[in-house]
Structure 1
Amino acid sequence: MFHKNKLIKFLTVAIAAVFFIGVGATAANASDRYYGGDYSKYQTNVFNNTQHDSFAIDQIGGDVNGYIYEDWTYSRHAQQAHNNGWRFHTYIWDQTGSNSWETQRMLNYFLPRLQQPKGAIVALDFEAGASWSVEGNTDAILTGMRQIRDSGYTPMLYSYRPYLLAHVDVNRILAEFPNSLWVAGYQNGLSVWPNYANFPSMNGVAIWQYSDYGGQQDLNVDLTGITRNGYGQQPQAQPKQQPANCPSNTPNTQPAQSNTSTYTVRYGDSWWSIANRHGMNMYTLAQINGRSINSMLYPGQTLRIRANTQTAQQSNNSGSTWRDSLGDTWHKENGTFTANTWLNLRWGARTTSARIALLNPGSEVKYDAWSSHNGYVWIRQPRNNGYGYVAVRNSATHQPFGSFK
């Protein structure tokens, strides 16, 4: 895409842990994924490098700090895509930062110039020009996505993971527009097929831009069927299956264990959300399935689940005290903790657990249980898709990291 920072996006896949593909209840089956390229003035003609493309997303132009420009190849690419029988969608370079008024002005200019049916995708390409205000950037993006929706099109937000996490409140975007992200994260090598071991770990991803294929063309996979929007009444070619030599999405299989049951992965699931739901540690969950937390999860996949020790012991103890799958004793208690220093909110009650967020002094955490183990007192914060954990006291020195109420 225009002004794309390819190095950063390539490095993203080297450090991203693949916890999940965040798709919604309307997602297509894994075998029904669609493939296509995205284009701008840097590609004079549309390509068909993958030989199985069914859609194209083209830049119509954009706004750079109040300067609106048009991409002169837009009409040509639209015609070429239509000649190929592809579904055609549009993206707009959005360098308006937190200026909601400028975002509206940009869309007032471009929406009447679209060459696609109602319902098709209009994506805001937000990868440069963000302001210092995460709230302001998010407000401007939501203003634009609402205007796109109210104009009869499918809004999406394009960027790459580090930029989104640094400058946008992604949870607010997904709360109003579920499964609306188009995320870049480039895999190693030049295969035209996506390698899901390199999937960027973000929730709500509907389209993954997985390769720039040597700088010639950006390759994308539609994970949810979103590129069919606007073309539901027109006959479309059936998606082709991946050949036997492409990266496999099939999990390793091992004989079932006597102390396990099974769980079918649902849209939006992740290793940590499934593990927390069943009172397990996500590393243990991955291990008993012969995999790692960097392995891809996709809807319909069957996992082995260890017996839910947490749930069973909660029931036996009237919900007041129980042991989790790691043997830690937890006590049921509701309250609010206020931090007096910088603290880590983690996915597990271990100092080695992955960090969700860095809490600043004065942050409040509502909790529903506490535990003392491994040198710290921990509290558990209920979240929409699992739990977060905070160490609130050093057990050895008795040093508190905040106060309770």
Structure 2
Amino acid sequence: MNKIKQFAVAGLAAFFVAGGMVPAVHAAKGDHGVDWSVYQGAQGKFGYAHDKFVISQIGGYHGYLYDQSTYATQVQYAIAQGKRAHTYIWWQNITDNGTADYVLNYFLPKVQTPKGSIVALDIEDGAQNTDVIMHALARIKAAGFTPVLYGYKNYLTNNLDLQRIANSYTLWLAEYPNYEVTPEPNYNFFPSFDNIGILQFTATYVAGGLDGNIDLTGITDKGYTKNDEPKTDTPAIDAGKEADNTAKKDIAEGMTVKVNYSATNYATGEAIPDYVKGVPHKVVAVDGRKVLLEGINSWLDRSDVEILDANTQSDTAEFNGVFVVDSWQTYIGKWYARNNDMSIPVADYNNDIPVADVTLTDRYGNPLADQTAQGNNGVMEYFTLNGNYKVLEREGSAIKIEVDGEPVWLQAAFAE
């Protein structure tokens, strides 16, 4: 999630779930899971083989609506791995029912997780209103989903009547003492309150950062059968189930797979490094029981991989025009170009193009000898895009392509 960094206050917490004391070392359900935003990429990222669920960001509102371009494929890939997928919405500065309805009318029809699954409101910044949140959670329930409120206890209690909300709806609270790698909850930092269904116990579930959660009550089973099958289908679920139901003997070139965490050696005997595991790879060749994956120059036994996407068709797009750099953007030290005409209004980071695939040109498309960007200083700059890009998703007039390993939403009218 787009977390506001904060440290918990040290000290021994009492443990209350739904008003009752629970032991510090046991949870009612105990399943581990993660939550994802755009920072976990189009395929998402699990921390460990035992993870059972994910809660993925569909988008949000903080003065304007925005979609999370990675949402549908994250749901698809989670279902393909037999995980339970749920949904959350970023909720900021929504203080009247009219705006709440506007946001929910936009997002609820786009939910790709099954009926009954969690749809959480992520509330951790900006102005809030208890009555409006109660109204929104009631609407989520009326739409056939399980309403949940997410946030940090201190922020929620300072900005809302949290007890009133907890009397009717389940809480998903976050609390952790530091940013050291934490694979298991430290219950000394449990955010005591009524009706806590999920605890987010770390933002560093694995090295490099990933939110780790534990299900305290079994709420992440909502929307799924005892075999973790979704009770209702959506396009993302259909694609995920197709992959999950495809036999490994049918793995073919063009499919997308991941290397299992349990895999130990390549077919040639060398040890498989950890950074290869759990990461999506395209199958580039098949030889009997062995598969060769894009970016990995060693063969693996097919028993060591899991199918994430059974589709072997390659949908690609080119962008052959000359475009203006309306602005340069930077995130975590990486630079991106933005063209407002190509972007999906309102333009944001989902539309920004990694500079690795940008060639600076003159207005006629002739590459410049000096590829150093002038920055946001009013100088007119032009660029072309260099490749034939994999299409990750098409929706109405928009197209999502993969650029330098990242998803980018652009106007489909510019694609060829």
Q: TM-score, normalised by structure 1?
A: 0.52
Could you tell me which runs of 5 or more consecutive residues in structure 1 were left unpaired when the two chains were aligned: 132-136, 237-405
Tell me, what secondary structure is at the counterpart of 1:69? strand
Conserved 8 A contact 1:95-1:127 = yes
Q: Kindly provide the CA deviation profile for residues 16-47 of structure 1, in whole angstroms up to 9, marking residues without a partner as x.
A: 6411232379x997363111000010111322
Partner in structure 2 of residue 144 of structure 1: 136
Partner in structure 2 of residue 171 of structure 1: 163
Map 1:79-118 onto structure 2 (within 5 A): 79-118=76-115
Residue 18 of structure 1, aligned match among 13, 16, 22 = 13
Q: 1:184 to 1:31 in 2, by over 3 A?
A: closer
Map 1:325-336 onto structure 2 (within 5 A): none
Partner in structure 2 of residue 403 of structure 1: none
Aligned equivalents of 1:99, 1:211: Cα separation in 2: 32
Residue 208 of structure 1: how far off its partner (Å): 0.6
Does 2:27 match 1:54?
A: no
Map 1:6-405 onto structure 2 (within 5 A): 6=5, 8=6, 11-12=7-8, 14-15=9-10, 17-23=12-18, 30=27, 32-44=29-41, 45-65=43-63, 67-131=64-128, 137-177=129-169, 180-188=170-178, 189-213=180-204, 214-232=207-225, 234-235=227-228
Tell me, what secondary structure is at the counterpart of 1:176? coil
Residue 215 of structure 1: how far off its partner (Å): 4.9
Tell me, what secondary structure is at the counterpart of 1:89? strand
- Runs of 4+ residues deviating >6 angstroms: none
Q: Kindly provide the CA deviation profile for residues 210-268 of structure 1, in whole angstroms up to 9, marking residues without a partner as x.
A: 111155210000100000001035447xxxxxxxxxxxxxxxxxxxxxxxxxxxxxxxx
Aligned equivalents of 2:4, 2:54: Cα separation in 1: 21
Aligned equivalents of 2:52, 2:14: Cα separation in 1: 28
Aligned equivalents of 2:90, 2:120: Cα separation in 1: 9
Residue 75 of structure 1: how far off its partner (Å): 1.0
Conserved 8 A contact 1:24-1:204 = yes
Residue 99 of structure 1: how far off its partner (Å): 1.9
Partner in structure 2 of residue 5 of structure 1: 4
Conserved 8 A contact 1:43-1:216 = no
Aligned equivalents of 1:139, 1:112: Cα separation in 2: 23
- The one-letter code sitting in structure 2 at the alignment partner of 1:220 is N
Aligned equivalents of 2:161, 2:12: Cα separation in 1: 20
Q: Kindly provide the CA deviation profile for residues 191-218 of structure 1, in whole angstroms up to 9, marking residues without a partner as x.
A: 2111211212222211111111155210
Q: TM-score, normalised by structure 2?
A: 0.50
- The one-letter code sitting in structure 2 at the alignment partner of 1:226 is I
Aligned equivalents of 2:87, 2:184: Cα separation in 1: 23
Q: 1:204 to 1:16 in 2, by over 3 A?
A: farther
Could you tell me the percent identity over the aligned residues? 41
Bigger mean CA offset, 98-107 vs 84-93: 98-107
Q: 1:53 to 1:97 in 2, by over 3 A?
A: same
Q: Kindly provide the CA deviation profile for residues 85-126 of structure 1, in whole angstroms up to 9, marking residues without a partner as x.
A: 000000000113322211111011111111111110000011
Aligned equivalents of 1:36, 1:187: Cα separation in 2: 19
Q: Kindly provide the CA deviation profile for residues 148-179 of structure 1, in whole angstroms up to 9, marking residues without a partner as x.
A: 000010000011011001001011102222xx
Q: How many residues align?
A: 222
Aligned equivalents of 1:216, 1:228: Cα separation in 2: 25
Aligned equivalents of 1:165, 1:97: Cα separation in 2: 17
